[in-house]
Amino acid sequence: MALKPPATLKRKSRLPVWASIGWRVLAVLALLAIAVGVHWIERDGLKDTADGHVSFLDILYFTSISVTTTGYGDIVPVSNSARMFDAFIVTPIRVFVVLLFIGTAYNFVLKRTWDKWRMAVIQQTLSGHIIVAGYGTTGSETVDELIARGRDSGSIVVIDQNEANIARAKECGCIVLQADATRDQVLGDVRIGTAESMIVCAGRDDTSILITLTARHLAPALPISVIVRNEDNEFPARAAGATTVVNPVSFAGLLLASSCQGRHLADYLTDLASIHGEVELAERKVRPEEIGHPLTAIATGLGVRIYRDGVPHGHKAPEAQSLLAGDTILEIVTAS
């Protein structure tokens, strides 16, 4: 088993970009100043093959070419102390300066350019995907269930501000974006206009409702499912544009109440909701050969409800006795 690296505490840098670059430059100048000072003190241990005299300008020149590993050989250390200083002090300074410059170039130029290029490549093929805003306990369980139902993890885009959550979603193979899902720019970056659907589980009802409102503004026809924990927030969530509102507290109450009437009812309801059960609920459009027939006559499963023009009708309702084109059937089928 591969050992995982230990977790480390991290936080966003409080320094602006110019200050972050500035302290690196100051660090390099300080190291050069130390090297120049010691070389000046030990100038008797240096030999200038050009004129035999080592001036302060010669010290600056020698230090700069030594730190940059150039070394033309016109000024060389001849004493033991000068050579030991170059070996044990200047060499580490040289390595540190090179790494510092490489790290600065990577952080502020190469990494950002690479990230922008990768994002552009992903965006070009991003279509028909599912956006999951929030990867806490509920969001991660939702993604696991989607993958268990056969959904390709590469077609799931996770948005979360927590770095640990983003890392876990990335391990599952999801496309990830560490950002605030309430922002128009963020939802535009994940191509919400070409998404198949969106699931919002931000952990706070007010944040989830704001995300829903923003998403509905950008994608008027997008199916949006939202989880709210306060029953009073179900109506605001629907008013914000949620297609489906789920209250886990209410659903848990239904399971507990059902368990009082029979110990197997809660198990069956859980089977219906989960891909791991023997039966499952399925939703589909009515087929041409089913038009005109009652809901009880369908052969694919046990029809329990139809939706006609957005209005639900039970299997005993008059509307369910003759299926029409455009009806949506809700049925219980054997789990695949």
Is the pLDDT reported for residue 200 higher than 80? Answer: yes
Provide the pLDDT for residue 260: 75
Q: What letter represents residue 300's amino acid? A: T
pLDDT band at 111 (very low <50, low <70, confident <90, very high): low
Checking if the pLDDT of 88 tops 60, the result is yes
Of 335, 283, 274, 273, the C-alpha closest to 306 is: 283
Write out the residue limits of the CATH 3.40.50.720 domain(s) in the chain.
130-246
Task: Locate 262 and state its tokens.
Answer: 């029979």
Q: Which of the four CATH numbers 3.30.365.10, 3.60.20.10, 1.10.287.70, 1.10.150.120 does domain 17-123 have? A: 1.10.287.70
- Report the pLDDT value the prediction gives residue 223, as an integer from 0 to 100: 95
Q: What is the CATH number of domain 278-336?
A: 3.30.70.1450
Rounded distance, CA 184 to CA 162, Å? 19
- SS3 assignment, position 282: strand
What average pLDDT does the segment 44-66 reach?
82
Angle, helix 137-148 to helix 163-171, in steps of 10 degrees: 10
Say what the pLDDT of residue 47 is: 82
Residue spans in the chain of domains classed CATH 3.30.70.1450: 278-336
pLDDT at 2 over 50: no
3-state secondary structure of 249: helix
Query: b vs e for 277-287, b when ≥16 Cβ sit within 10 Å of the residue's Cβ?
Result: eeebeeeeebe
Q: pLDDT tier at 50 (50, 70, 90 boundaries)?
A: confident
Closest listed residue to residue 158, CA positions, set 182, 183, 140: 140
**In this model, does residue 3 exceed pLDDT 70?**
no
pLDDT at residue number 328: 94
- CATH 1.10.287.70 residue ranges of the chain are 17-123
Distance CA 207, CA 215 (A): 12
What DSSP string describes 293-321? S-GGG-SSSEEEEEEETTEEEETTSGGGG
Provide the pLDDT for residue 5: 45
Whether the predicted pLDDT of 270 surpasses 80: no
Using a pLDDT cut of 90, give the percent of the chain over it: 39
DSSP H helical segments within 182-284, as ranges? 184-189, 205-218, 234-239, 248-261, 265-273
Residue 108 pLDDT level (bands cut at 50, 70, 90): low
Per-residue pLDDT for 233 more than 80?
yes
N-term to C-term CA, the chain:
33
In terms of pLDDT, which residue wins out, 44 or 256?
44
The mean per-residue pLDDT over the stretch 96-122 comes to: 71
Q: How far apart are CA 27 and CA 217, in angstroms?
A: 49
Return the CATH fold of 130-246: Rossmann fold (3.40.50)
Helix (H) / strand (E) element for 285: namely strand 279-285
pLDDT at 13: 53
Q: Give dist(CA 211, CA 213) in Å, integer.
A: 5
Residue pair 265/271 in contact by the 8 Å Cβ criterion: no
